[in-house]
Each structure stands twice: as structure tokens, then as C-alpha cells.
A and B are shown apart, each in its own frame.
Chain A
Amino acid sequence: MKIEKTLTVYQEIADFFAQKPSDNQNMIMGTSFCKMDGKQFSLEYDSLLRGTDADIYIPLWASSCMGRGKILLDRTTVSVIQFYYKSGYRPCKMEGNPPDYIGEMFRYLAYLKAVEIYYNKNGLDHKDRDNQRNLFVEKYLLPTMKEISEAVVNAGKGTFTEFRLFMTCLKEFIMQKQAWEIWIAWEEYLKTGTGKERTERALNIWKDVIENGPGKSKELRPAETINTAGINNCGGKCVIRPKVQEGCMLSIATDDSRNNPQLRACVRGRGYRKTFLSSERLKYPMKRIGERGSGKFERISWEEAVRIIASEWRRITETYGPSSRYVMYSTGVTGVLRPANLIKRLLKLDGGFLDHYNSYSSACASYITPYIYGTAESGNSPSDILNTKLLILWGHNPAETIFGSELNYYISLLKEKDVKIIVIDPRFNESAVTYADQWIPIRPSTDAALADAMAYVIWSENLLDKKFMDRFCIGFDEEHMPDGIPYGESYFTYLSGEKDGIVKNPEWAGGITGVPAETIIKLAGDYASMKPACLLAGLGLQRTRNGEQTVRCLAALACMTGNVGIPGGSAAGAGWVNEHPFPGFRNELENPYQGKIPVFLWSKAIEHGTEMTSSEDGIKGVEKLSGNIKLIFNLAGNTLVNQHSDINDTIRILKDTKKCEFIVCSDIFMTPSAKFADIVLPAASVFENNNIVTPWKGANYILRNNKVIEPVFGCRFEWEWIKELSKELGMFEEFIDKKPDMELWLKEIYERYREKEKELPDYEEFCRQGGYQFKNNTVKIAFEKEIREPEQYQFQTPSGKIEIFSKLIYEMHNKELPAVPAYVPCEEGPDDLLRMKYPLQLIGWHTRRRCHSIHDNNEWMEELEMPALWIHTDDAEKRGISRGDTVKIFNDRGCIRIPVFVTHRIMKGVVAMSQGGWYTPDIKGTDIRGSINVLTTTRHPSPLAKGNPQHTNLVEVALA
């Protein structure tokens, strides 16, 4: 009888883990569960086993209990499957759980008991099987139970404590140490008992095994390597080659082909397995039950989620009109099928939505470069860098940002050739460490002043490429001005100080930038004399309060030295390249609502949308917005909270459900943004879906993102539920455009691409290879044609020339945006009086360990680099701070507590913290994860692009 009863116990435990029992009475898991009412029990169950509470994490899978941290579907899982297969057991995937889920392991034990009954009946020897079982229990089950017990205690919930007791009791039971005494005591405690009826039920489940013996044992399928690609908005778009076995991922390799150059994944790509198969993944659709941001959710079905979204969609559209609907900027999936674009498509079919322009990445650069050159595509192909004689990395840190998969390789070749490399950056960043022959530290938000002084030297010392300027540019001197502009408005007049009495010489710039005058003179001399010279600017220096002017200044320098349009040179500017432009989908839809806001001003448009104007806030397409934002879709993005500025203020706005009434987030983790959603949907990771990936900043390849494993738990790629939503809203046919399956979309767009790019292989081959690297190695030089054949090709500006002075800007009469590339001091820049209170300038940077906020929860990366605040040794000393201390860094907007990195690698007066740490407030609201946007501002966007000035901040630092 004992053996039947043991089977019953195991089966009931498996059942409990497999699915929420409809009836919580007579539960063997503990009395506190029995005492709850249905609703309470349901919430408790889901927070324990289905991840519905943002503050509770219980590792329920063997893989995440082996000391390897929060990971799913790894080699441990394969070993567990091997045990299953060997004894003829087939896992049943309880609610999408991996096979080494605690419930599945108990079901396996029940199965083994059934086999034992069969063996006993037939007088067969099962010693071998017993050994196997014991090994399994010892290796996988017990460690998992131990970890669960610990996590349950840490979760600190009363009812969970009893659950722990249950685990302890169960452990003894499994170990067969006085099993029955313990079990009977437990049952007495519960005042239940595994009655006859229940035993019968359990035996019935395994009837077949009991009668006919175990299933066939089976070998593991061999591992295979699949070609796929990274899909985040990472500077690199790289080759990822996971080794997969039985739906688990063993390891990741990268490009080892004879491609030249190889598209090797960087550190982030190598950590994909740990990031994307984390056991912290969102698992099932949920709806909010606590107040916004509390992180308390209730599990719902996909159908219910879609129904709720549809009804809110209708309600809000009827009440506030289509323009109250907004889709967040998001870059978690940057394949050609982007979740945000899919929902936009649906919104377009139903009256449209309030769209945005610009990006958080390159707002100023992309917006202003067309004013100079007529286009933002002002970059040369990455490989052209090999032709340069001098490389200036200005606010550029490719060693960490990975600005294109191959760029670091090219720069290392330059270094081999002994080409001089200069790095201008407030930090002696990782690129500077390796690449720089010279490091020029500079105060943040003053790059324009440095550039102006360089221009002054080049002009006043006759280093100017006058022929180039005369031929291709306007607005640099008084002889080359557009009609109708009075005397004194040209760039050189500005530099001379004729009008404002300030000569923009190196001494002047030295005071502003902190760069010594001699250094500026030498730098200008080097740049003007070593031709071709490549001025490669990063995007950090334009994510400032005066970013537009900085970009214009650097472009002016490129022109004055004649480096535009030639191999080995660089036109500066936004620097985008597009060697093989990708087509759009067939029948792309127009947005019926014309209004657009700058991407950075969405939080303002929640509170003050109707008051926003085109001159002040850059509204486009409409005179005024007809209402505030009431409905937000935030799909695969973290700008709702984490990556937007002034987190505390943003949270204030979001918390108020009367302001923005409904927020839908779809993501793979409970990010700081997802916490503020009303509906949270679990998305598919990079491994669980197909897509096509184009390189970030030009290059000769495109990649295919292949589905490597099935979506885990209840996760779905956004397409799936948006399709359902379109049905619910009655727009299915229009939405799918005769392509009910996502693959059809991908194939269609690929075929359109192939029409233009003849050398591409057919779709199947492309997918199999995981992408294609063009043999026809196009090297694009921006404005090559315009420079070589000026008669035929003009710049796409109003004057047809490069506009150093811009009449368009002149006519804006904006004090903060002079018509020439002049330095403009700004709020929270180094000259701001606020420095009396907050003397330090704070900047962020893109760390190697994260792609924006992605990978922050990857524990492997923690071993590479911990969050820390960089502070100069002298600044630290002044404040009594030394190595190893934890400090608080604060301004009027908030406070962060974080360890310091005391170093000489940063300029005095500047502190820095890598961007992307997940906002993690303690009880007092102090962030403890180094989430820089607690300290950044939404109040002063850049003057024209209304760009995010996330590197223009003043703060103070003190010992915590």
C-alpha cells in the first residue's frame, strides 16, 4: 500500500505545480492555503509559482538552482531530460514550463513509482532504476527544493513559510528517512489524509504504465548549431550561433566563417543565453491589481488580455479621439518586424495615433545634419576608416558601444599601421585606453567651444582648405552669404569676435572646455595638416542641452579641412550610411492623424498635450494637439520609465491613472517600465521568433534572426496577440493584408529586397545561413558625387551647398540656436550658476555590459563590471571619499546610492555613471542600481530637435 500512497503523494504534488487547483480545500501543501478564499488563493498561488509579483522570485527549475544563477534551459535541463528519456518518461511541459520544472520532476517521480509497481508485480529487479532515481533526486530535485525553500523565506510572505515547512517535510519523504512517520504527522497537522479515492485517481493516471510497464527509453537528439542574429538596438548587429539540444541551449558561438571581416558578437552577444533565457522572464499575461508601479499583478489568459485591451482601446478612442493614443519609442526588437510598428499598423487602420519623430539616440545629430548637408546620411562605410591618416574619436567609445560589428577590428588594423588616433572625451574610456595616442579630456556640453577654437586656429593660421570652402560651402565668410542677410552674420565674423567682442581663440575655449590652449592649437594643426583625416563623432556629445550646435561645429571643421567626400575623410554630422537600403513592406499605411511630437516630449504630452505648441515644443503636422495622451503602448521598450529622463517626475505622472488612463507593456522582463503597465504581456525573446536584421550604421550584410527554441511559458511574439486584437476590433483582414503568418511578411520584404540586390540567395538559403554578407563590397563615401561632379550633383540644401550659416535657422530667431555653428552655454552646463549648489557635471555612457538597459539583469556581466560612479581622485579627496566607498549622488530631481570608482581616468569636475541600470528604489525612493535618469531632466530639451539632454546634468556627491 505504501508504494501506491507514495505515488499518490507525488502525483498530487505534481498536479499542484502543474496547474492551479480549482479547489483549494484538502490541499496537502499546507493549511494556510486551505483557509484562503478562492480569489486570495489564486493570487497567492500565482505569486508563488507563476511570477505575478514583481518582488517575488522563486527558482522552480533545476537549471536555476545549480549555482549558475537565474538561467533556464541549459545543460542541466538537458541532463534532466536525459534521465527522463532513459526511463521512458516524456515531459508534459506544465503551462509552458521547461522540463526541469519542479512539478515535472515530481511527475517523473510519480511515473517511476508506477514503473516500480509494474516491476514488483512482474517480479522484476529494479535496483538499477532505483539507483537512477536516487541519483536524479540527489542531483536535481533536492537542490531545487533547497533553493525554493530559501527563496520562499526571502520572499517573506507568511503563507510561504508554511510552504517551506512542506518542502522540508517533503524532502525527508523523498529521502525515505522515516518517511511515513513524517508524512503521517504532516497529514495530521493538516487534518487531511490521502484518502482511498485520491489514491485511486492517481493510480488511474498511471494505469498504462502500471499495467504495461515503462515507455521506451530514448536517446537525446544530437546537438545542432543554428545560425541566427542579435536583434537589440545594439551598435553591433552580430552573428549568434547557439548550440541547441532538445530545445535547450548549450552554448553560443559566433561568426567563425571566412567572412571578411567576421561579424563577431561582442561581450553582450556572448552573454545572450544568460540574459534571454533567464528564469526571471515574464511568463504569463497579467493585469495590474495594486496601484500603478506597485508591481502587483494578477494572471489572466491571453484571451482576457486581448479583450481588456480592445475594450479600453474603444473606450479611449471614443472619449478622447485617436490622437490620445501613443506608441512608445522602443528598441528591444529592432528587426524589420518591430512590435511598435505592428501596433501602429493597427492604430492606423482605426483613425491613427499621435506619432513621434526623432530618437533618444541621435535626436540632435539626425535632425540638424540635413540643415548642413541636406541629408543625415553623412557617413562613410565603416571600412573606409582604413584609408585615413588621422582618426579623431570625438566622444566616441566604440570599444564599448560596438558601433557596427566590425569597427573595432578596423580600428585595431589602423593601430597596427601606426595611424595616429586621438580621443576626445571627459573619460579616458575603454577605447582611449587601447586606441588613443592622445587623450583630450573635455567638459561635457562644451564640445562646440573646442571646435570653434579649432576653427579659429585653422582660419587664422591659414590652414583652411579655401578652395573647398569657396566651391562647396556658404556662410563661412561675408563673401559667401545668402541674399538678404546683413553684414556680420558669417561664421568667420563670429570667430573673429568682431560682433560680440569675444575672439573665439584657444584661450577663450580653454576657459570653457578645460582643454589647454596649446592642446587646441596642436589639435587643430594636426587635423588640418594630416589629410585625409577622419573625425568620427559619437552620439554622446549631441545628447546634450546644446547638441545641435555641437554637431554643426564638427561638420564645419570637416569642411574647413576639406575632408568631406573623400576616402579616409569624414563629413562628421550624424554619419549614417546605407550601402544596401532596405525596402518597406507592400501596402504600408499612412497615419490618418497628422500630429507628431518630438520623441522626448511624450511625458509632457500626457499632462500638457493641449498646451504644447510648434515653436516651443516642436509639434508637427497640426496646429495644436486635440488632447493629452491617454493610452500608451510600450512594446519591447524601457523608455516609459528607465530610459526617459527624470524618473521620479515621470513616475509621478504615470502613477496618476486619471492622466494616462491605460498602459499596455509587452516585454520579456518585469522592467521598471513594465511595472507601470495596466496590462503586462510576456514576449518572445530573440531566440523564440523569426526576424530580419539590418546593420546599425551601414555595412555590407543583412542577418536573419531564426527561431531557435519554442517560446517559453506563455510567451508570444507581439504579432500573435496584435493579430487577435485586430480580430476583436474587427480589422483582421486589413491588418494582415493577406499575410496571416509572420513568415509571409518576412518573406515578402526579403523578396522585395532581392529584386534590388540581385546577388542575394533565395529566402530559404538566406534563413539557413542566418544572413548574407555581400560580395559586392560597396564602400560608400558620403558626398563623393557632390564633390567630384558639382555641376551635376548639388547638396540637397536650400542653397544647394553645404550651409555653414543656415538661413532657415537664422529666420527662427532662436537665441539658443545661432545661425552659425557657435557655442552656446546652457543650463546645467559648466557655466551655470547652479554649480554653486551642484558643482559636478554628470554624464552617462554606454557600457560594454549592456545595450541600453538590456542585460542589466545578466549576472555574468556583473562579474565583468559592477555599477559604479566614476569620480576623479581629487574630487573624491575633497569630499572625503576613497576607494570602496558607497556614495550618494543627488540633485533636486533625485538621489542615487552607488559604489564609487575613484580614478584619474575622468576629468576633474565631472562624474560619470553608465546608463541603463534598472531603476531600483529603496523605501526612501533612493535608487540603488545606478539608474542615471533619476538625475537627468525633462525640463530643458535641446532648442531645435527637442532632443534628450541626458548628459547635461549638475549634481553633488557625498559619502552615503
Chain B
Amino acid sequence: MNSKDSVFAVDADKCIGCGACQIACKDKNNLELGVNYRRVFTTETYDKQKLKVWHYTDSCYHCRDAACVKVCKFHAMYNTENGVVAFDEEKCVGCRACIAACPYHIPVYRQAVKKAGKCDACIDLLAMGRNPVCVDACPVHCLTFHLRDDNHNENRI
């Protein structure tokens, strides 16, 4: 069950690599310089005279059987009912175990607060029936999010 079972979906065919999601996340989470919970990448390959370039964006996968949750002795990383792997900054002691454990290198160390940090799927917004801020930032609507127990999020715009 430790599969990469993402609740975010990026339609990489549509992503224009604009970075709106990355900056919106940074803004909302009040992050320090050098710290981003969502990153936008552009990758280029050139093989046999063929150029391939694609944009992609990445943040926490909110794994079903999350390594970060298992390894965190202080329960700072925890599962919520609806499948979000949330993070309680108060409990975090900055031991960095989650950073080492995550197979996707998602949690980051925030030097300024001496704690780990990662995407919490904007649970505060979810609780208000809204989308994560990165989802609502995307100018081409290619980034989507659904909770595991609710595949229909029509009520969110």
C-alpha cells in the first residue's frame, strides 16, 4: 500500500510552467527564502536529434502509508481522515527524520524556525470547502486535487 497515491494531479500536457502555483504556495505559507513546498520544474532532453521539454510541478503526495508519518516520533506528521498527510509545526522538534524517510524528498528543513515543513494540502482551506491555493492559482486549470473520500469536488470552483 506504500504506493505513490497522489491526491494532486498535474496535467503535464497543459502545464505551462508558469510558476503561479509555486509562488502562491510560498505566499500563503509565508515561507522563507530557499524554502518551497511546491516547485515547478522544466526538464529538457535531447536524444537522437529529438528535443523534448516538459514542465512539471511537484509537492507532497500525501501517501496512504506515509513514511514521514511512520518515522516521526513526535507525531508532527500525521494522517487526517480524508487522506491528507498533515503537519503540526508545534510538535516538530526539527530532528529531520521525515526528511530522510520520505522517498520523494518532499519535507524540507526550515532553518529560520528550525523545524521541518511540507505541504499540508492547505487543510485550512479544505475545511472551508475550498481548493488548495496552488490549485486555484493555475491559469490553465491543469492542477487538480481531490480528497480520497471524495472524488467529486464540483462544489469547488
Binding site for B on A (CB under 8 A): 66-69, 74-75, 250-254, 256-258, 262, 264-267, 269-271, 273-274, 399-400, 402, 405, 408-409, 411-412, 415-416, 428, 430-431, 433-435, 848-849, 859-861, 863-865, 873, 903-905
Q: Can you report 6 A-B residue pairs in the complex whose CB atoms are below 8 A from each other?
A: A252-B27, A256-B157, A266-B139, A408-B16, A433-B54, A861-B23
Please state if B23 and A430 are interface contacts (CB–CB under 8 Å). no
Q: Determine the chain B residues whose CB is within 8 A of the CB of A274 once the complex forms.
A: 27
Known: A264-B138, A264-B139, A904-B46. A865 touches B112 (CB 8 A): no
Q: Determine the chain A residues whose CB is within 8 A of the CB of B110 once the complex forms.
A: 67
Please state if A267 and B23 are interface contacts (CB–CB under 8 Å). yes
A273 to B30, CA, bound (A): 11
Tell me whether B4 is interfacial, beta carbon within 8 Å: no
Q: Determine the chain A residues whose CB is within 8 A of the CB of B33 once the complex forms.
A: 67-69, 859-860, 863
Tell me whether B42 is interfacial, beta carbon within 8 Å: yes
A929 to B128, CA, bound (A): 43
Please state if B27 and A434 are interface contacts (CB–CB under 8 Å). no
Please state if B27 and A251 are interface contacts (CB–CB under 8 Å). yes
Which of A66, A253, A254 is in CB contact (< 8 Å) with B112?
Answer: A66
Q: How many Å from the CB of A76 to the closest CB on chain B?
A: 8
Please state if B18 and A399 are interface contacts (CB–CB under 8 Å). yes
Please state if A270 and B31 are interface contacts (CB–CB under 8 Å). no
Please state if A253 and B20 are interface contacts (CB–CB under 8 Å). no
Known: A68-B33, A863-B33, A864-B40. A431 touches B16 (CB 8 A): yes
Please state if A409 and B140 are interface contacts (CB–CB under 8 Å). yes
A69 to B13, CA, bound (A): 34
A402 to B16, CA, bound (A): 11
Q: Determine the chain B residues whose CB is within 8 A of the CB of A903 once the complex forms.
A: 44
Tell me whether B142 is interfacial, beta carbon within 8 Å: yes
Please state if A251 and B136 are interface contacts (CB–CB under 8 Å). no
Please state if B140 and A408 are interface contacts (CB–CB under 8 Å). yes
Q: How many Å from the CB of B128 to the closest CB on chain A?
A: 11
Q: Determine the chain A residues whose CB is within 8 A of the CB of B28 once the complex forms.
A: 251
Chain B interface, number of residues (Cβ within 8 angstroms): 42
Known: A67-B32, A67-B33, A434-B17. A270 touches B51 (CB 8 A): no
Tell me whether B92 is interfacial, beta carbon within 8 Å: no
Please state if B17 and A430 are interface contacts (CB–CB under 8 Å). yes
A69 to B35, CA, bound (A): 12
A254 to B111, CA, bound (A): 30
A250 to B29, CA, bound (A): 9
A266 to B137, CA, bound (A): 7
Tell me whether B133 is interfacial, beta carbon within 8 Å: yes
Segment 114-135 of B: residues with Cβ below 8 Å from A? 130-131, 133
- Point out which of B15, B18, B22, B141 has the most chain A C-beta atoms below 10 A from its C-beta: B18
Tell me whether B26 is interfacial, beta carbon within 8 Å: yes
Please state if A864 and B139 are interface contacts (CB–CB under 8 Å). no
Known: A433-B55, A904-B44. A258 touches B17 (CB 8 A): no
A433 to B42, CA, bound (A): 9
A250 to B28, CA, bound (A): 8
Known: A66-B112, A251-B28, A409-B140. A434 touches B14 (CB 8 A): yes
Of all chain A residues, which has the CB nearest B34? A863
Which of B15, B130, B136 is in CB contact (< 8 Å) with A434?
Answer: B15
Of all chain B residues, which has the CB nearest A65? B112
Please state if B17 and A433 are interface contacts (CB–CB under 8 Å). yes
Please state if B136 and A253 are interface contacts (CB–CB under 8 Å). yes
Which of A270, A411, A415, A904 is in CB contact (< 8 Å) with B23?
Answer: A270
Known: A67-B32, A67-B111, A74-B30. A399 touches B16 (CB 8 A): yes
A430 to B140, CA, bound (A): 13
Please state if A400 and B18 are interface contacts (CB–CB under 8 Å). yes
Known: A67-B112, A256-B130. A904 touches B51 (CB 8 A): yes
Please state if A270 and B24 are interface contacts (CB–CB under 8 Å). yes
Tell me whether B19 is interfacial, beta carbon within 8 Å: yes
A405 to B138, CA, bound (A): 12
Please state if A271 and B27 are interface contacts (CB–CB under 8 Å). yes
Which of A66, A273, A904 is in CB contact (< 8 Å) with B32?
Answer: A66
Please state if B20 and A849 are interface contacts (CB–CB under 8 Å). no
Tell me whether B53 is interfacial, beta carbon within 8 Å: yes
A569 to B83, CA, bound (A): 47
Which of B23, B30, B131, B137 is in CB contact (< 8 Å) with A264?
Answer: B137
Tell me whether B36 is interfacial, beta carbon within 8 Å: yes
- Point out which of B20, B23, B44 has the most chain A C-beta atoms below 10 A from its C-beta: B23
Of all chain B residues, which has the CB nearest A411? B140
A848 to B54, CA, bound (A): 16
Of all chain A residues, which has the CB nearest B53? A433
Please state if B157 and A267 are interface contacts (CB–CB under 8 Å). no
A400 to B13, CA, bound (A): 17
A69 to B32, CA, bound (A): 7
Of all chain B residues, which has the CB nearest A849? B19
A860 to B28, CA, bound (A): 13
Which of B15, B27, B136, B140 is in CB contact (< 8 Å) with A256?
Answer: B136
Which of B18, B22, B36, B111 is in CB contact (< 8 Å) with A430?
Answer: B18
Q: How many Å from the CB of B138 to the closest CB on chain A?
A: 7
Of all chain A residues, which has the CB nearest B26? A860
Q: Determine the chain A residues whose CB is within 8 A of the CB of B20 once the complex forms.
A: 264-267, 269-270
The 7 A-B residue pairs whose C-beta atoms are closest, nearest first, are A67-B112, A399-B16, A67-B32, A412-B140, A270-B23, A267-B19, A864-B19
A860 to B23, CA, bound (A): 7
Q: Determine the chain A residues whose CB is within 8 A of the CB of B130 once the complex forms.
A: 256
Of all chain A residues, which has the CB nearest B36? A863
Q: Determine the chain B residues whose CB is within 8 A of the CB of A273 once the complex forms.
A: 27
Which of A254, A271, A415, A863 is in CB contact (< 8 Å) with B13?
Answer: A415
A416 to B14, CA, bound (A): 9
Q: How many Å from the CB of A250 to the closest CB on chain B?
A: 8
Please state if A271 and B23 are interface contacts (CB–CB under 8 Å). yes
A434 to B13, CA, bound (A): 6
Which of A69, A408, A873 is in CB contact (< 8 Å) with B139?
Answer: A408
